[in-house]
Chains A and B, each alone.
Chain A
Amino acid sequence: MKRFKLLITFLVLVIVFLSIVQVVVSNRLSTTGPLFSKIEEETNFYKRENLLLSERLLTSSSLNNIALKAEALGFIEGKTKFIVTASLPLALRQ
């Protein structure tokens, strides 16, 4: 009988404890909207900045852009090409 009473008391205490925990957690969670919204805004901001910078990077490193800048700086296409190879064996030299 004593054990039975102890068990009932324990169960009641557990129920009460879990109810308090639920109330506390729900209460905290229900007010996280603004924080969540702020985090989402920041995340979207950085994602947007990444895309914008990526766009600038790709445009700058495009071959078209490099060729235009090179022309503006005075670079020209090399007409003479030099090929350096190992010397031919004696038997093949003329």
Chain B
Amino acid sequence: MTWRYRFIFAIFLFFFGLIIIRLFYWQVVKAQELSVLAEYQYSGIVKMLPNRGEIQTSDDFPIAANKVSYLVFVNPKAIKDKRNITNEISPIINVDKASISAFLSFDKVWVSLKSGIDDKTKKSIEALNFTGIGFEQQSSRFYPEASLAAHLLGFVGKNEAGGDKGYFGLEGYYDRLLRGKEGYAVQIQDALGRPILSRMSGNLVKVDGSSIKLSIDRSIQFLAEQKLKEGIEMYGASGGMVGIMDPKTGGMLAMASFPSFTPQDYQKYSEDLYKNPFITNTYEPGSTFKPMVMSAALEEGLVKPDTKCPACNGPVSVGGYDLHTWNDKYYKDTNMIDVIKHSDNTGMVFVAQKLGVDKMIDYLTKFGIGSLTNIDLQGEVSPSLKARNAWYAVDLATTGFGQGISVTPIGLLDAFSAIANGGKRVEPHVVSQVQSPDGKISKILPKTVDTPISGKTAKIMTEMLVNAVNNGEASWARLKGYRIAGKTGTASIPVKGHYDPTKTITSFIGFAPANDPKFVMLVILDKPTTSIYGAETAAPVFFDIAKDLLLYYGVPPSE
């Protein structure tokens, strides 16, 4: 009998063993695989797109923000009346009927028709009450001020993967900061697909982009653009630029260029317009360069304001070239104050020759000529200075009056701002602070890059420039009652080895009030047709803007 009990026991033991082995197989060996299968069935990975950071002007107004937009998609398999839908939807979303018809014939359950449609368009489509059409909410870039500061902002386009990416200007330069980081959420669903729980994966939490606040004053930017546009029309120019900066901090108050584009619809414009000419275009500055050269000579003690020019009673011959004044008027025994007042090229040749090539290169480098200003915008260029052994006598002479040397407008403005700032040159910047999504603010502090001249020389140069405004060829346009320091510029345009006598780039550079400058400004008009001279084109635009700026800052007349 005992053997029967043992036999039955052994059979039970055997089957229990089998069960345990099977359980071990499913719960240990296959655990990982089953866990993954379960996750597919009961959970989904949801991509969390971050909000792009805003770009705000100094008054906290977002000139680049985000808005709600939608992607409209269709389920071709759920649509019965394809022709009717095509006819109704095509004019609403502005896609041709042939394309929509093609999308509706796909053998898929999800086909995108168009992205970036606004809420009004979405409601129009919803009102049609068609089945098989759905919407996916997106976020797209939005510029409330339309084309204001377009070159400064740049625009947001797409990268190779179809994600948002900033190009040019601030959107390009600060793209990494602005775009944030994608996150991934694990969402667990019940048998009917309804969410039970949702949690963020620890390492992949969504991080919204940081916002940036600019030193740009929205009102000044608007004013500058209006006045520049009026000036371009009035003087028949093909384009123009204005840059306004706080000389003490380097903060840009405004930067305007025409022709321009609208960042919202950047695809409609030529790619040539995307670059910011204020930082990418180079030109020969002409007489607006003279203050830097004169400052250098004053600083070295090579000339004083009352030093007389011994060779200014006629054209100067240098290296086989005859160098004239802009109006062929010559002043015998003219002093340095009058050289600046009359914008006398021969006087500047005298000053440049006094400086010599080595000191000229040294001071130009200190003024930042030939180097990038490192302004925080994408696309800045800087033409290099000629190597020491490539300078001829005529190069030294022409550099003295701003020809034969190339600068960018931002480079010139930055160099000139040293005169307005007691001899100190600061690094220009557009962003004044960065705010992270958790509210932490990082301020960007002014940075003094170099001190090309002393405070004393800066004061002397300032007085010479005030005298040039009050008594020079642009005195007819000046603001009475205010002490404004400035210099006109009429630069010939080099064309195939010679200078075009009929076309010029006119400019005016200056700062006000002279004793305690609130702003330094450069106005450039490209090939004006009513007159080729800076005193008659760029100077009035400068003073027109300066008049409103001084009022804006509440600066009363001092005289």
B-contacting residues of A (Cβ < 8 Å)? 29-30, 32-34, 36-37, 40, 44, 48, 51-52, 54-55, 58-59, 61-64, 67, 81, 83, 85
B residues less than 8 Å from A85 (CB atoms): 556
CB-based contact A63/B145 at 8 Å: yes
CB-based contact A63/B218 at 8 Å: yes
CB-based contact A33/B196 at 8 Å: yes
Q: Label chain A's interface by main secondary structure.
A: helix
A residues less than 8 Å from B144 (CB atoms): 55, 58-59, 61-62
Return the contact of A58 from the options B62, B196, B222, B547 (Cβ within 8 A): B62
Tell me if B300 is interfacial: C-beta within 8 Å of chain A. Answer: no
A residues less than 8 Å from B146 (CB atoms): 62, 64
A-contact bits for B123-159, CB 8 A (1 contact / 0 none)? 0000000000000010100101110100000000000
CB-based contact B148/A37 at 8 Å: no
Tell me the nearest residue of chain A to B222, going by C-beta: A63
A29–B218 CA distance with the chains assembled, in angstroms: 52
One of B65-73, B78-86, B101-109, B383-391 at the interface: B65-73
A residues less than 8 Å from B62 (CB atoms): 58
A51 touching B196 in the complex, CB below 8 Å, given contacts A62-B146, A64-B146, A85-B556: no
Query: 23 A–B contact pairs at CB < 8 A?
Result: A29-B196, A29-B197, A33-B194, A33-B196, A36-B198, A37-B194, A44-B137, A48-B137, A51-B66, A51-B139, A52-B68, A55-B144, A58-B62, A58-B65, A59-B144, A62-B145, A62-B148, A63-B145, A63-B148, A64-B146, A64-B148, A64-B222, A83-B557
CB-based contact B196/A32 at 8 Å: yes
A residues less than 8 Å from B219 (CB atoms): 63
B residues less than 8 Å from A61 (CB atoms): 61, 144
18 further contact pairs, Cβ within 8 A, besides A54-B65, A64-B145, A83-B557? A30-B190, A33-B189, A36-B195, A37-B194, A51-B66, A51-B139, A55-B68, A55-B142, A58-B65, A58-B142, A59-B144, A62-B146, A63-B148, A63-B218, A64-B148, A67-B222, A81-B547, A85-B556
Tell me if B516 is interfacial: C-beta within 8 Å of chain A. Answer: no
A51 touching B195 in the complex, CB below 8 Å, given contacts A30-B190, A62-B146, A63-B219: no
A residues less than 8 Å from B119 (CB atoms): 52
A74–B68 CA distance with the chains assembled, in angstroms: 34
B residues less than 8 Å from A32 (CB atoms): 196
Beta-carbon contacts under 8 Å, B50-82 to A:
61-62, 65-68
Return the contact of B196 from the options A30, A54, A67, A81 (Cβ within 8 A): A30
A residues less than 8 Å from B495 (CB atoms): none
A62–B139 CA distance with the chains assembled, in angstroms: 21
Min CB gap A42→B, angstroms: 14
5 closest Cβ pairs, A-B complex: A58-B144, A33-B194, A55-B67, A62-B144, A63-B222
Give the B interface residue count (CB, 8 A): 28
A residues less than 8 Å from B194 (CB atoms): 33-34, 37
A81–B194 CA distance with the chains assembled, in angstroms: 68
Min CB gap B493→A, angstroms: 33
A26–B63 CA distance with the chains assembled, in angstroms: 49
A residues less than 8 Å from B218 (CB atoms): 63
CB-based contact A51/B145 at 8 Å: no
CB-based contact B137/A33 at 8 Å: no
Min CB gap A12→B, angstroms: 27
Q: Which of A30, A59, A62, A63 has the most CB of B within 10 A?
A: A63
Tell me the nearest residue of chain B to A59, going by C-beta: B144
A59–B143 CA distance with the chains assembled, in angstroms: 9
B residues less than 8 Å from A55 (CB atoms): 65, 67-68, 142, 144
B residues less than 8 Å from A37 (CB atoms): 194-195
Tell me if B38 is interfacial: C-beta within 8 Å of chain A. Answer: no
Tell me if B551 is interfacial: C-beta within 8 Å of chain A. Answer: yes
Min CB gap A85→B, angstroms: 5
A50–B176 CA distance with the chains assembled, in angstroms: 26
A81–B548 CA distance with the chains assembled, in angstroms: 10
A-contact bits for B536-559, CB 8 A (1 contact / 0 none)? 000000000001000100001100
Min CB gap A25→B, angstroms: 13
Return the contact of B195 from the options A29, A33, A48, A63 (Cβ within 8 A): A33
CB-based contact A33/B190 at 8 Å: yes
A residues less than 8 Å from B556 (CB atoms): 83, 85
CB-based contact A48/B65 at 8 Å: no
B residues less than 8 Å from A83 (CB atoms): 556-557
Q: Which of A36, A55, A81 has the most CB of B within 10 A?
A: A55
Min CB gap B127→A, angstroms: 17
Min CB gap A66→B, angstroms: 9
A-contact bits for B151-194, CB 8 A (1 contact / 0 none)? 00000000000000000000000000000000000000110001
CB-based contact A51/B68 at 8 Å: yes
B residues less than 8 Å from A67 (CB atoms): 222
A residues less than 8 Å from B137 (CB atoms): 44, 48
A32–B190 CA distance with the chains assembled, in angstroms: 10
Min CB gap B487→A, angstroms: 26
A30–B66 CA distance with the chains assembled, in angstroms: 37
Beta-carbon contacts under 8 Å, B235-279 to A:
none
B residues less than 8 Å from A63 (CB atoms): 145, 148, 218-219, 222
Min CB gap A84→B, angstroms: 9
A29–B222 CA distance with the chains assembled, in angstroms: 56
Min CB gap A11→B, angstroms: 28
A85–B195 CA distance with the chains assembled, in angstroms: 70
Tell me the nearest residue of chain A to B194, going by C-beta: A33
A64–B62 CA distance with the chains assembled, in angstroms: 14
A residues less than 8 Å from B145 (CB atoms): 62-64
Min CB gap B128→A, angstroms: 21
Min CB gap B543→A, angstroms: 13
A residues less than 8 Å from B190 (CB atoms): 30, 33
